[in-house]
Chains A and B, each alone.
Chain A
Amino acid sequence: MNRILGRRAILNFIYLMSPPLLDVEGGGRGNAPLMSSSASGDCISQSGSGLKECNFLGLSDCSSVDSSAVSNVCGENKNNLNFKATELRLGLPGSRSPERDSDFSLLSSGKLDEKQLFPLLPSKDGICSLMQKSIVSGNKRGFSDTMDGFSEIKSSVFTEGKWMFNANGSDSGTPQSVVEAKLAGNAGINVILTNNSSGAQPSMKKEVPTRAPKEGQNKMNGSNNNSSAPAAKAQVVGWPPIRSFRKNTLATTSKNNEEVDGKPGPGALFIKVSMDGAPYLRKVDLRMYSTYQELSSALEKMFMCFTIRKCGSQETPDREMLGENKFKDLLHGSDYVLTFEDKDGDWMLVGDVPWGMFIESCKRLKIMKGSDAIGLAPRTMEKSKNQN
C-alpha cells in the first residue's frame, strides 16, 4: 500500500514543476536570500529552465527513505512531492482527475479542469456564490455556520479556492455526502481540516449564529439574551486580535457606561482558573458562557489532561474517553468542587448565585478537592443570605 517514493519520482516531480518554485537550496543560508530576485520574479512565468535538483526538504541529501517517511507521514495521496497533488481533487474516491501539467500559476488560469468532474458545482466563482447566496437571500448566515461551510468546502476543494458547494448548513444533501465520501477516501487531511476549523477551539460555540435574520429584528447590540445565546457572538479564541488589556478595559468601560437590562457588555472577561494538583493555570473568558453547565463542561475539557495523568492508565486504548468520564465523576462526584474568589476576596462555592451576578463578582476560579471545600458551604449560604 505504501509506495516508497524513489529518487526517480522525485526527479519526475522536479521536471514537472516550474523549478524556481522549488529552488530550495540545501543547507543553511545565513542571511542570504532564498532566491535571487530575478529567479523569484520569474517564478510565475517561467517553466523549465535551470532545473535545480533538491529533495522535498531542501536538504542536500536526497534519500528515498526520507521521502517515503514523508509520504507515510502525510498518510494520504502518495505523490505528495508533486504539488499538483497538494490540490486535492474533487470527486468521489476512485475517480481520477486529468493531469494538469504546466500551469502552476494561479494568476493566469481561472479555469479548472475539475469542473467537468463535479457536475454538482455551480460555477467557478464558487466562493462568491456562497456569499451571494447568503447575502442576497437576506438570510445572513451565522458565523459558525459560515465557518463550518468553509471548512467543509476547503476540505474537499483545495484547488485554488474557486470551487465550492452550495453548501448551506441547512441543506445537507449531496454536497455533504460528497464531503463525507471524500473523507472516507482520504483519511488524512480532509478529516483533519473539517474537524480542525470548526471544532478545534473548545471555547468556540458552534451552534449560535452571529447574525440573526434581518426581518423582525431590532438591531442586536452586542449580546443577546442570556439563555439561548452566549454572552457574545460565537467567539473564536483570539479573534478579533485584540489584547486582553484592551478587552478587559472595554468590558469595564461599557459596564460603567451602559447598565441596561442587565445585558452583559461587550468585551471579554478573562479570569484565571487553577486546580489543586495541576501544575499550571488556565484562563477562561467568562463571557463565552451563559450557564454554569457550560462553564463546567469547558473546565472539564480543559483540565481533563491533568486528571488523566494523575489517574490515567496508559494501557487502555480508550483512555481519553475513560479519562473524561472519570473527570466528570471527579467533578460531579465528591472529589472536586468548583470555587471562586469574589470581589471581597472570599472563596465561595460556584453555583449559588444567578449567573449574571456570578460573572460580575468572580475574580478567579479554583477547582478544589472536595475535602478542602467542605468549610465553604455554610459560609456561602450565609453570604448569599446576607446579599439577598
Chain B
Amino acid sequence: MADGGVTDGPDKNDDVERAKCEGKEMTKEEKQRLRKEKKQQKKSKEKKDDAASQESEKGKKSDGKSSPASQPLPKPTTQKAPSAVPAPAPFPMPASEAPAPADKPAKSKAELKAERRARQEADRASKQGSKKGEVGPQASAGKPKAPPSELQPVVKRLPEHMQVDNPDVLKKLAKKLERQQTPGHNAATKVEIPLRLDYGYKVSLFSHLHQYSRKAPLTQQLSIPSTVIHPAIVRLGLQYSQGIVAGSNARSVALLHAFKQVISDYTTPPNEELSRDLVNKLKPYISFLNQCRPLSASMGNAIKYIKKEISNIPSQCKEEEAKRKLLNCIECYINEKIILAAKAIAKYSIEKISDGDVILVYGCSSLVNHILCEAFEKAIKFHVIVVDSRPRLEGREALRRLVQRGISCTYVLISAVSYILPEVSKVFLGAHALLANGYVMSRVGTSQIALVAKAFNVPVLVCCETYKFCDRVQTDSFVSNELDDPDDLIVTRKGKTQLEDWQQVDSLGLLNLVYDVTPPDFVDLVITDLGMIPCTSVPVVLRVKNVDQ
C-alpha cells in the first residue's frame, strides 16, 4: 500500500531519532539499521537524479514488462530519499512494496544483494529501452554512452600479426580459425583454414612478426572447398600472397570486388538475419586473407565500412533489396574514396608542378603516376626521375607507364639518390597509410629519400587519400611491419650466387622489410582529397571524419 510504505518510513525514522535523542545504548539491531540507513541514504542521494527518470520508466513498465520483484526493490531507495528529507512526494506504488521495508532489519544482507540486482536489472532495462529507441531519458538513465566526439580512453587489443613471439596468442589464433568454420556443413569432415608457418631464420629484432615464403602458398598442400571459403576470396588470397596484386589501392579495390561477389552469391539461411549472419560469414574470409598477407590500413578501413553498412541493414528489408543496397554502397565507396579522390588530388597537385620542374618519384605509386599523367596532359613541361630499389624493383613498372605516355624519364637506384638530388626540384611520394601522430607509413626506402631531400633542401610532397588515414601511432619501423620472403635478396651476378646457402650458415640472416615510417619533419606537405594539409593535421581529419560518420 502506498500509505503503508509512506508511514513505515517516518516510523522507522522516529525510532532512530528516538534512540539518538535518548542517548541510550542502541540495540544491536538498531545499530545495524542505522548503518544500513546511512548507506542507503548515500546511495539514494546518488540516485536522486535518476529518480524521476526511473520513475517514469517504472511507470511505463508497470504494464508488466519487468518482473514484480525488481520493482519494489529500487523503490525503497527512492522512497528513502523523500523520507529522509521530509518532503513527501507522492509516488504511485504497487502494493507489493509494503512488505519489503517492514522486513528490513532482518533482511539486511539480502536487501543489499537485492538492491544490487535491482540496479543491474534497471541498467539492463534501460539499455533495452535505449536500443528500442523508446524514450530519450532512458538512454541517460542507462550507462552514459560516450558520444564519438568525446575523448574515449582507448584500450585497443594488440593485433595478432604483431605477436608471433607469444605462443599463447598463436594457439588462440589456431582455435579461432577452427571456430570460424560454418557449423553443420562439414561437421564430419573438418576442413580447417590452415595456419601458415613461418619460414627461415628471423632476425632477432623482428621475431614478433611473421615471415612467410612465397614458394609455399597457403593452399598448396590443402584444397579448401567452396563451402568453407568462397572461391573468389581464395583467388584473392593467392594473388596477395604471390604479389600479383600489390599496392594499397589495388589491394583495396580487389578486396571490395571480391566482397561484391561474395554478397551477390550469398543466401540467408532460415531463421537468421542477414545483417548478423553476413558479418559472421565474412569473419573467416578475413582471417584467411590475413594469413595470406597481413591486411593493410586501407583494407582495414574498407572492411570496417562494409561491416557497418551490413549491420545497419534494417531487419525487415528483403534479401534482394538488401543485397542490392550493399552492392551499391560498395560501388559508391570505391568511386568516392578512390577514383574521385584521385581526381581531386591530381587537381591540387597540378598547381604545384610548374614548367621546367624535375620531379623525383620513388617506386610505383598508382596515385603519383596518375598525377604525373594528368600533369602531362595539361601540357606542363617537366622531367621525371624514377628511383628504384631492390628486391622489388617496382620502379620499373612506373617507368614503363610513364614512358608509354611520353614523359621524359631518368632511372636510378636508391643508392645513387645523393648523386642525382642536386638536379631535383621536387619530390612526390605516395603513402601506404598516414598515422595519427603525423608519421607516414610507406614502402621501405621512402624515409631515406625524404631524409636526403631534406639535407639538400628539396621540398617533399606526400599524396594520400583520406581513406588511408588510420588511428594507429607508431614511431619506428620495427614494432609493426611486414617481413617479406628473405630469399628475394639472393642475386646471381656473373654466375656466382653469394648467398645461396644462407640457411646453412648459423649466424647469417637476411632481412626483407616491406614498410617504413617517415617522421613528419621530413615531409613538407600532404596532398589529400580534402585539400593540402601539413603532416601534423592528420588527427584533425580523423576526428572530422569520425564525427561525420
Q: Please say whether chains A and B are actual partners in one complex.
A: no
- A residues with a Cβ closer than 8 A to B are none
- B residues with a Cβ closer than 8 A to A are none
